[in-house]
């Protein structure tokens, strides 16, 4: 940690340099490295596809779960989205197999998912800050049942999150991939994020594979990939 502190560079941000934890830096190198290894052959693709969830679970079970709050999963999400966007726009779109309207629709879905995800985090952080401010209240003030952890009265249907360290109204669960709690304040934005992201990933994957692989017509103008064996001869496509 001393070496990491020495490596921080001065910057013009408000409050000085921002320290980034080591666990948050791992996805910045792991995601591109795993993608490059998986691109070497079909066998490597299968092995990496099966081993990546095991690797993430191993890191979480043995290291990350001991941290009160980690940015590992959030950085994994951000790195994955950025990498997929760069690969799509730099390698797939120049093949001229995708219509401008298709690319525009894909970008709108990606941007929509990012915006909804950002609003989900912002609303959750706002609720957490309000909860931290209200922790200074006397035990008799406020309404609702007394939370034994916060030592303050929380509203009905509120649940204490040990990661956010506050009570969340109508809490669904703590989303590790967005690093925030999902509750009544951000549930709609979270569902919007899931919807836009699902459309973007499914549609973008179909556009990518039908552009770099040999496609076949399913119904009308709907294409599906048929044979992708030739892709492994060019690293930028695979």
Kindly report, residue by residue over 58-94, the tens digit of the pLDDT.
Answer: 888 888 777 777 888 999 999 999 988 988 888 888 8
Higher pLDDT, 215 or 121: 121
Determine the pLDDT at residue 32. 92
1-15, 27-41, 87-101: segment of lowest average pLDDT: 1-15
Phi–psi pair at 19, nearest 5 degrees: -85, 130
The answer to whether 131 and 166 are in contact (CB under 8 A) is yes
Determine the pLDDT at residue 153. 64
Q: What is the pLDDT of residues 165-196, one digit of tens each?
A: 777 777 788 888 988 888 888 889 999 999 99
% pLDDT > 90, the chain: 25
Q: What is the pLDDT of residues 104-155, one digit of tens each?
A: 999 999 999 999 999 998 888 776 566 545 544 443 444 556 666 666 666 6
% pLDDT > 70, the chain: 79
Higher pLDDT, 101 or 220: 101
Q: Taking 60 as the threshold, does the pLDDT of residue 47 lie above it?
A: yes
Enumerate long-range contacts of 181-186, CB under 8 Å, 24 or more apart. 181/124, 181/127, 181/128, 182/120, 182/124, 183/124, 183/127, 185/123, 185/124, 185/126, 185/127, 186/119, 186/120, 186/121, 186/123, 186/124, 186/127
The answer to whether 237 and 91 are in contact (CB under 8 A) is yes
Determine the pLDDT at residue 136. 43
Q: Taking 90 as the threshold, does the pLDDT of residue 22 lie above it?
A: no
Q: Is the pTM of this model over 0.75?
A: yes
Determine the pLDDT at residue 11. 53
What is the C-alpha to C-alpha distance for residues 146 and 201, in angstroms, rounded to an integer?
Answer: 43
The DSSP output letter for 153 is E
Number of H helices, E strands in the chain: 6, 8
- Show Cβ contacts of residue 47 under 8 Å, excluding neighbours closer than 6 positions: 38
């Amino acid at each position: 940690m001393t070496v990491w502190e020495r490596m921080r560079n001065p910057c013009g941000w408000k409050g000085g340099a921002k320290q980034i934890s080591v666990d948050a830096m791992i996805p910045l190198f792991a995601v591109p490295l795993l993608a490059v290894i998986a691109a070497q052959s079909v066998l490597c693709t299968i092995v990496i596809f099966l081993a990546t969830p095991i690797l993430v679970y191993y890191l979480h079970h043995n290291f990350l779960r001991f941290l009160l709050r980690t940015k590992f999963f959030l950085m994994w999400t951000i790195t994955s989205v950025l990498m997929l966007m760069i690969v799509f726009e730099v390698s797939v779109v120049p093949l001229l197999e995708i219509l401008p309207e298709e690319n525009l629709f894909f970008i709108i879905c990606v941007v929509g998912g990012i915006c909804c995800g950002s609003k989900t985090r912002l609303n959750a952080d706002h609720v957490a800050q309000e909860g931290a401010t209200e922790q200074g209240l006397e035990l008799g003030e406020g309404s609702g049942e007394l939370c034994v952890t916060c030592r303050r009265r929380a509203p009905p249907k509120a649940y204490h999150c040990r990661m956010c360290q506050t009570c969340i109204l109508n809490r669904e669960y703590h989303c590790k991939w967005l690093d925030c709690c999902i509750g009544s304040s951000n549930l709609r934005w979270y569902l919007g994020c899931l919807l836009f992201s699902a459309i973007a990933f499914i549609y973008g994957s179909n556009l990518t594979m039908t552009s770099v692989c040999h496609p076949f017509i399913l119904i009308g103008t709907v294409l599906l990939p048929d044979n992708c064996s030739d892709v492994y001869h060019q690293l930028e496509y695979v």
